[in-house]
Amino acid sequence: MAAPIRLAFSPDSDDLFMFWALLTGKIPTEGLTFVADRADTEALNERVARGDVDVCAVSIARYAAIAHDWLLLPHGMSVGRHYGPVVIANAPCSLTDLAGKRIGTPGLKTTAHLVLSLVAPAFEAVVVPISPFAKAFESLRTGSVDAVVLIHEGRLTYEKEGFALVADLGVAWAALTGGLPLPLGGNVIARRLGSERITQVSRLCHASIRWAMDHRDEVIDGLARADERALGFDRAMVDRYLALYANDDTLNAPADVRKAVEELFTRAHAAKLHPDLVRVEYAPM
């Protein structure tokens, strides 16, 4: 029997949505078994360096440093089209007003941090993990940061919590790049698995996403029952969040998304935010 395929992904509902069918026996798995761990985004960005998982959700920005050991899957991406992570503060202000200020980011290796570095004046980064969700709001209320970046479902609730929008990084990225979408997260697969296993696992991951999209209401109900994190959000809000980050772009990354991935790395290299100009390689499907 083949060893289990080890998955690792974030607490966000869109990640569990993608792997739901694989982990709950909804689709045939061609004799393979899948096991999963969950961790916050920056922890996952660190974990790929250890190589103790086979498929891992990472920030797209992280791929630049791990490309020699990992392929990017052509499905499973979280993409914002004129929307993305939001920068919020206690009171209305602009990104310019935050020059030199403390801004909470979900991690120094996240795409949100990279895009903020490309579109905002120099700032002092303070890592505020995405889990628990309330941590970001608490950091603002206590004054430990002057602004904070939200990359999870909290982007839908900050107004109710009494905070003001500073900028939507998806909008800022589109303005910078002539309208390109913002590729935020993706799934990578270890090259060490070999071409045959990579193709098989990629095919099954794609089938899992397809099944979830075809049975969307069933999966949303399952998320609410199985994931206690979702209890803080009503069903309509989970539905809204999945519409943002679990959609047709997730099923198959189209040409403009792939172009945006390349653009992100080109701009990061030009801004001296990454030493190498990475060559993106996608796994077969």
Tokens 């791990």: give the residue. Answer: 66
Greater confidence, 58 or 239?
Answer: 58
- Return the CATH class of domain 80-177: alpha beta
Q: pLDDT of 99-128, one tens digit each?
A: 999 999 999 999 999 999 999 999 999 999
Q: Do domains 5-79+182-270 and 80-177 have the same CATH topology?
A: yes
Whether 23 shows a pLDDT value over 70: the answer reads: yes
Instruction: Classify 100 in phi/psi space as left (phi over 0), alpha (psi -120 to 50) or beta.
Output: left
Question: How many percent of the chain have pLDDT more than 70?
Answer: 96
- Domain ranges across the chain: 5-79+182-270, 80-177
275: phi then psi, degrees, rounded to nearest 5: -70, -25
Pair 139, 161: CB distance under 8 Å: no
DSSP state of 22: H
Mean pLDDT in the chain? 92
Distances (CA, A) of 82 to 2, 23, 153, 181, 183: 43, 32, 17, 6, 11
DSSP H helical ranges for the chain: 13-23, 41-47, 63-66, 111-119, 134-141, 169-177, 195-214, 216-226, 235-245, 248-251, 255-270
Whether 250 shows a pLDDT value over 90: the answer reads: yes
Nearest-angstrom CA–CA distance, 204 and 31? 11
Tokens 């499973």: give the residue. Answer: 76
pLDDT of residue 114: 97
Q: What's the whole-model pTM score?
A: 0.93
Sign for the CA dihedral angle at 189, 17, 249, 82 comes to: negative
State the fold for domain 5-79+182-270: D-Maltodextrin-Binding Protein; domain 2 (3.40.190)
Q: pLDDT of 171-221, one tens digit each?
A: 999 999 999 999 999 999 999 999 999 999 999 999 999 999 999 999 998
